[in-house]
Each structure stands twice: as C-alpha cells, then as structure tokens.
Amino acid sequence: MAEAGLIDPDGLEHGAGMTTGSARRPLFVATILTGSFLLFLVQPMVARMALPRLGGAPNVWNSAMVVYQALLLAGYGYAHGLSKLAQRRQAMVHLSLLLLAALTLPIVLANLAAPASGWEVLWVPLLLLLTVGPVFVVVSAQAPLMQRWYAADPGAGQPWALYAASNIGSFAGLLAYPLLAEPLLSLHQQSHAWSLGYGVLIVLVGVAAWSRWNVTDVVAVAAQAEPEERIGARRVLLWLALSAVPSGLLLSTSTHLTTDIFAMPLLWVIPLGLYLLSFAFAFSDRRAAAHVIVLLTPAAVIFAGSFAMVSTSGGTMVAAIGALLLLFEVSVALHARLYDSRPGASKLTFFYFIMSLGGALGGAFTALVAPVVFDWVWEHPILILASATLLPLPAQLDWRRMAGLDRGMSWIALAVLLICATFVAAQLMTLVSDQSNELVQLFLLLALTGLGVLLMPWRWAFVLVLLLAMLAQGGVTTFKASRDHQRTRSYFGIYNVYDTGPGPGQVRLLAHGTTLHGKQSLDPERRTEATTYYGDSSGVGLAMEAAPRLYGPNARIGVVGLGSGTLACRHKPGQRWTIFEIDPAIVHYSRNGTFTFLQTCAPDARIVLGDARLELEKLAPQSLDLLAVDAFSSDAIPLHLLTDEALGVYEQALTPEGLLALHISNRYIDLEPVLSAIAKKRGLVAMIRRDTPKGDLVVASNWVVMARDPARLAQLRAASGGLKWEALDPARGAAWTDDHASVLPYIRWGAMLGKL
C-alpha cells in the first residue's frame, strides 16, 4: 500500500511537523467540523418537518438515511470530479455552487402530493430529495474536498486525520438536535438558524480557498512525479465491503432494537452517533485506541452477536447496550481495516467516493431490499455474520504462529475446539428459555465466546461458532416463526401473530415490535370478548358503551388504528363506523380471518387506508360523534397525531358535542402533561381513566377523553357505573405543535433505567 505521506516538487517528504501548511490546520478543521455539524443537524430537522406527512414508523427513518447516503455519495462523487481541476478552479466552482444552493434556503418541506398506499418506500425518498437535495450535496462534499485542499500545501502533512474531525462534527450535530435544537427552537427557527450556519460555512470555505490560492497542488505534482498507484478491483471490492457492512449494520441495529429489544425514545440517535464516532477512532493518527478495540472485537462479536436472532420481544436495557457496543466495536474494527488499506493522498477523493458508495449500498440493502425480501430483521444477523468474515485478525490472536507448534497439532486443536463449541451451543440451547438458570447460561455463553476467539485464525470456524451462538440464543425459535409464517413485514413494521399453547384458555396474539397490539380468545364462547387495552372497564370501553345514551342508536364512530380489530366488538346495531388504518397488512389480518372481531361484530364498518390525520382532514366537518385514537407503534410516539394542529383536525371531524378518546399507555413517555397543555390551549375539558383490570384477556391502560362541553364529560362519568375518572396531570411547558415539539422533557428516565 502506498504511504499517505506527501511529496513536494523537489522530492522531499513532508510530515505533520512542517509549519507552512500545519499553521492553517485549525482553519480546515473548523471548516470541516462546521460542514459536518450542519450536515447531521439537517437530517433530523428535515425528518421532523416531514413527520406530519410521514408518520413515525422506523422505516421512515431508514428511508431517510438511504436518501442521505445517496446524497452523500453524490457529494463525494462531485468532490472527486472537482479534485481533478486546478486548485483555483476548484475553489471558484465550489464557492459558486455553495452560493447557488443558498437560493433554496431557508429549508421548507417540498410540496409533494401524498402517496398511494404501498408507494411510501419511493415517496419518502423523493420528498426528502426535493426538500434538501441541493444543499446536502454541496455540504457533504466538504469533508473530502477540504482534505484535498489541505493536502495541496507542501507542508500540511497527512490529511486523513481530518476525516476523524469530520465525524466528530457529525456526532456533535446529531446530539445537538434532540438535546438543544428541538427542545429550544421551533422548526421555523431551526431552519433559519441552519441557514445562518450555512452562511458561516461559505465564509470559512472562502477563507480556506484564499489560503490555498497561490499554492502549487503538491498532491497533483506528486501524482505526476510518482508512478501511478494501481488500485485493483479486489481492493475496491474490499473498500466497498468494509464500508457497506457497518452502514447496513447501523440501520439493522436500530430496527432490531426497536422491533425486538428495547423501543426507547430517541433511540435512533445512539446507533448513528456510535457509527460516526467509530471514524474518529479508526481514522485517528494515534492508533492505540483502535488497536485495542480491534483486539477486543472478536469476543464482542460472539458474545453480543449471539443475541442477533432473538425475537421474543422481551429484551432489556442490557441487551440493548450489548447491541450498541457491538455496532461500535464492529464499526471501529472494519473502518480501521479500511483506513489501513487506504491509498496515497493523490487518490483521496476516489477512496472517499468508494467509501460513500459502500455506505449507500449497505443502507439500501437494509432499508429497501430487506423489508421486501425478509419477514423479520434477518438482515441484522446476516450483517453480523458478514462482519465476522471481514474483521482484521490481530497477530496476538493467531496462536498458530507460536514457536515450536507443529502444524498437525493445530489441526487436531481445530477439531477439538469445534467439537467443544458444538457441545456448549447444544447445552445453551436447552437452557435458553429457562429463566432460573441465567448464571449457567452466562457461563456457557462465555465459554462459547472463548472457543470462538481461539478459532479466530480459521475464519470459517469463527463464523461457524458465531452462527451456533445465534441459533442457541433463540435463532431456532426465530427460524420456526418464519417457517410457520407467523410474521408479516410491511413498510410500517414487523407483526408477529402466534397462538398460545393448546387448551381452553388458548388465545391468538398480535405483537408489533416490543408491544402487544391485540389478543383474541380462540374459545368460541369468548371470541367476541373485548381484550387487552379495550376491556369493559377501560376508558374507551366506557365511552363506547355510553355512546347510545349520549348520541342515540345511530351514533357515528371513528377509530384510528385497527390493530386486531378488538374495538369493532363495541359496535352496536345502527351505528356507522369508520376505521382509519395506515398499514394494509393490518387490514389483511381482519379480512383473511386471522382475527375475526371485524368480520363478526362490524362487517359493514368502512375501512379507510392511509395516514389518519390526512384522511380525517378529508372528512366533512362534524362527521363523527365519537373518535378513538390508538395509533402507536410499539412505544414510539407519533408526534404528528398529538400536536395542537392534530387535535384541531379531530375537533373539526367531531360534532360540537363529540367525544375524543386518546390511548396514551406508554412505558417511557408521560403524555398527560402534553395533552393537558393542548386541552388548555384549545379550551377543551379532559379526564383520564387509569384502568388496572383483572382477567386473563385484559391489561392495564390509560385513556384520555376530551370534549368541548364539561357537561358531556359529566354525562360519561355518570354512565360509567361508579368507575373512577380523574383529572389529568397539570401541563408542563407549551403545547406541542407541528412546528415545535420535543419528547425530551417528558421521558420517564426511571422507567428506562429500571430495566437495567
């Protein structure tokens, strides 16, 4: 591999200790940091702008990430093409494009018609592309282009460490959004603040261009003076793989965590932040930290990677932390190998272009291909297995090189180690569902980890032990679920339908991510019994039962979120029901007989496919007497359904005497103060039913009911048979709006940390 040291026209090599270029190093660091900070500040900002039109499904964020990776690839391609021009011409072209892109500011969401059902996977990228495409491309070119300009000075030294600075800036921007920008600024203010930052970036780029205006491009001179460095197809494919796997693993980790382990608020920030931070270690001039992480990664891959096929929806914070640490260590190890295989500085922009292409391919596989091909998050274990095949092999782990070790003995050791690993995995598989043997399971997993590390010199054997660990830790159960067609995967989530064991109490369950979304008894005498969050003593159950008394026999009922269709069995003869559901896969469960609530209790109910908020806007005013909103996916909060503007849409659809029921059961976010603030702002009255029922088919729930007229709530309370309704907790802060909302002040930190 060619060294990244730079050669001046006289053939003298310059290091980072030279003063002419290194004196301006802070300028280039500041320029790169600013560009990267803005780049990763705009990503969540635009996604937040689009939330009222996109909803909160995990795949929305994954689709957004694919768009950003594609735009990043375009920016790196532009930087690579531009680097072939003379230094002054590069500066003039880039500054001109920065100024042209500024004409699209401040950033506002593109006016794009809503998609037809099933086309969200293409519509979401198009919306984001039209909204932020031009500025994203030119800003994303900053990291490689500024490194190229920095290296143009003979005394500048190696430019590669500046890429670490780039990712530190990205990490800072990513954290700044949920912690500072979103809580403190409205979207309108965020957009204008970002525009000011963009102006600062243009000034910094201008100063950087001026600092290199009269400098002979030493990289170009070196490229002419030295023989052309050959970069073969095999090396390019290695770069692609080493960048694609961490990129895909970033998105698959987010999906796997929110689907099967721990659906905590703001979770998307952590995997992306760790992924960005990995570059700061891998591309650093100081290699000690990266070397230590590379040495530890094989053990982490076996230990934490063994949970990659777990699909029991019963994860803990420990499992979540393990998955995040695995992502970080794998990213550092693979990016360190990528750094170690880098070309000379004359190929800098080409190298970064291939890196970006690999990142885009990995993201596309996870966000676009996998949801269509797989019924579960199979891309996650696949990518972990792929990472195991690519990990660098530290010399310390290759014990075959021990002095005096006979080659034949190493093959005998291989056979013995494989037999032991198979035996340990088999024992672990028999105990994995037994909660009383957790210490034994931990010991067996540690033993399997040690055996896997010893087998690291034989890459195929190391990967085989990893696969055995995955199967032993729950992979067999996950395979069986796919074989039996228990799951359905759509753009909006992964649904698991399964029956409990045989017997008189057998039930069928619908789980979405880590949350139970429906349950139906398979006993013919109980098949229409209201279950889960919709029991007789639940807030929505009381409101539905009171509807004939409040609105007469022909009440018009609206339901947002079909689920298993349980609420349909609150239907009364003469009532007209409209059910809003965004996911066709959920509707299919009720129409194909998987769940029979809808067919049995409300076969004439009208089903409206699409985002409920957008579809409710299309209804004629005062079309409904009662509207029940229950559209959460796992513990994720659909902000666009709980803003002041959303409540305005619901009010418009309801009659002046209408009731609005909102399901706010949530493990990690306290939504009562949010709704109190909105009710106060809109002049509504509200009360909450905190239901803790007893029974095998029902679970605890919190339902808030709102109305314009206090007398209407008094009538509902009187019709509730003495069951208790309470006042909402007081408001804290301003009401959520489409322009300004943050979950940060309402997170139940104790609930999250309590699962450690």
> For the segment 689-748, what is each residue's pLDDT rounded down to a tens digit?
999 998 889 999 999 999 999 999 999 999 999 999 999 999 988 999 988 888 888 887
Does one domain contain both 291 and 357? yes
The answer to the question of residue 299 being in a domain is yes
Mind giving me the DSSP string for 31-72? HHHHHHHHHHHHHHHHHHHHHHHH-S-HHHHHHHHHHHHHHH
Q: Which residue, 226, 242, 272, sits at the end of a domain?
A: 226
Structure tokens at 518: 């429906």
Does one domain contain both 567 and 656? yes
- Is 623's pLDDT higher than 60? yes
Q: Which residues pair with 516 in a beta bridge?
A: 511
Q: Running DSSP on this structure, what letter comes out for residue 420?
A: H
Does one domain contain both 181 and 307? no
Q: Kindly indicate the confidence band of residue 633, based on its pLDDT and cuts at 50, 70 and 90.
A: low
Mind giving me the DSSP string for 502-536? SSTT-EEEEEETTEEEEEEE-SGGGTT---BTT-T
> What single letter denotes the amino acid at residue 334?
L
pLDDT at 231: 84
Q: In the predicted model, what is the mean pLDDT of residues 635-639?
A: 63
pLDDT at 555: 96
> For the segment 559-571, what is each residue's pLDDT rounded down to a tens digit?
999 989 999 999 9
Closest residue by Cα to residue 271 from 261, 257, 291: 257
Question: Domain total for the chain?
Answer: 3
Assign 108 to helix, strand or coil.
coil
Q: Kindly indicate the confidence band of residue 21, based on its pLDDT and cuts at 50, 70 and 90.
A: very low
Q: Which residues pair with 660 in a beta bridge?
A: 627, 706
> What single letter denotes the amino acid at residue 488?
T
pLDDT at 756: 44
Half-sphere exposure of 625 (CA within 13 A, CB side): 18
pLDDT at 322: 85
Could you give the C-alpha distances from 363 to 51, 277, 358, in angstroms and in order? 21, 18, 9
Q: Kindly indicate the confidence band of residue 752, based on its pLDDT and cuts at 50, 70 and 90.
A: low
- Is 160's pLDDT higher than 80? no
pLDDT at 363: 86
- pTM for this entry: 0.80
pLDDT at 438: 79
The answer to the question of residue 512 being in a domain is no
pLDDT at 14: 35
The domain spanning residue 184 has which CATH number? Answer: 1.20.1250
What's the alpha-carbon Rg for the chain, to the nearest Å?
29
Does one domain contain both 69 and 135? yes
The answer to the question of residue 289 being in a domain is yes
pLDDT at 316: 59
Would strands 624-629 and 654-663 be described as parallel, antiparallel, or unpaired?
parallel
Residue whose entry in the numeric block shows the structure tokens 């050669």: 7
> For the segment 453-502, what is each residue's pLDDT rounded down to a tens digit?
999 989 999 999 999 999 998 888 888 888 888 888 887 778 888 888 77
Structure tokens at 91: 């500066």
Between CA 337 and CA 625 the distance in angstroms is 63
Q: Which residues pair with 521 in a beta bridge?
A: 507
Return the higher-pLDDT residue of 404 and 134.
134
Does one domain contain both 684 and 720? yes
Between CA 161 and CA 364 the distance in angstroms is 28
Mind giving me the DSSP string for 114-154? PPPTT-HHHHHHHHHHHHHHHHHHHHHTHHHHHHHHHHTST
Instruction: Report the chain's mean pLDDT, rounded to a whole number.
Output: 85
Q: Is the dihedral of CA 155, 158, 160, 166 positive or negative?
A: negative
The answer to the question of residue 195 being in a domain is yes
Does one domain contain both 221 and 257? no
Closest residue by Cα to residue 197 from 183, 176, 213, 212: 176
Does one domain contain both 208 and 258? no
Q: Which residues contact 203 (CB under 8 A, 6 or more apart)?
A: none
> For the segment 96-124, what is each residue's pLDDT rounded down to a tens digit?
999 999 999 999 988 877 666 656 667 77
Between CA 341 and CA 352 the distance in angstroms is 12
> For the segment 206-215, what is each residue's pLDDT rounded down to a tens digit?
999 998 887 7
- Is 548's pLDDT higher than 60? yes
Q: In the predicted model, what is the mean pLDDT of residues 117-137?
A: 80
Give the strands of the sheet with 487-490, arranged side by side: 487-490, 493-499, 507-512, 515-521
pLDDT at 419: 95
Q: Which residue, 491, 523, 553, sits at the end of a domain?
A: 491
| Cβ pair 560, 641 in contact under 8 A | yes
Does one domain contain both 733 and 645? yes
Closest residue by Cα to residue 740 from 699, 681, 661: 681
CB neighbours (10 Å) of residue 100? Answer: 12
CB neighbours (10 Å) of residue 179? Answer: 14
Half-sphere exposure of 393 (CA within 13 A, CB side): 18
pLDDT above 90: percentage of residues in the chain? 46
- Lowest mean pLDDT across 234-248, 342-356, 596-610: 342-356
Q: How many residues does the chain have?
A: 756
Q: Which residue, 185, 203, 226, sits at the end of a domain?
A: 226
Residue whose entry in the numeric block shows the structure tokens 């339908």: 497
The answer to the question of residue 525 being in a domain is no
Between CA 609 and CA 321 the distance in angstroms is 37
pLDDT at 746: 86
The answer to the question of residue 663 being in a domain is yes
- Is 599's pLDDT higher than 90? yes
> For the segment 162-179, what is each residue's pLDDT rounded down to a tens digit?
777 788 888 888 889 888
pLDDT at 7: 28
pLDDT at 148: 85
Assign 444 to helix, strand or coil.
helix
The answer to the question of residue 506 being in a domain is no
| Cβ pair 554, 575 in contact under 8 A | yes
Closest residue by Cα to residue 425 from 400, 389, 450: 450
The answer to the question of residue 516 being in a domain is no
Between CA 321 and CA 707 the distance in angstroms is 43
The domain spanning residue 683 has which CATH number? Answer: 3.40.50.150
Q: What's the domain range around 627?
A: 535-753
- Is 589's pLDDT higher than 70? yes
Q: In the predicted model, what is the mean pLDDT of residues 35-51?
A: 85
Does one domain contain both 220 and 240? no
Return the higher-pLDDT residue of 220 and 397.
397
Between CA 25 and CA 650 the distance in angstroms is 56
- Lowest mean pLDDT across 278-282, 369-373, 434-438: 434-438
Does one domain contain both 200 and 51? yes
Closest residue by Cα to residue 175 from 65, 69, 282, 44: 44
Between CA 342 and CA 335 the distance in angstroms is 10
Does one domain contain both 382 and 405? yes
Q: Which residues pair with 576 in a beta bridge?
A: 556
Does one domain contain both 128 and 170? yes
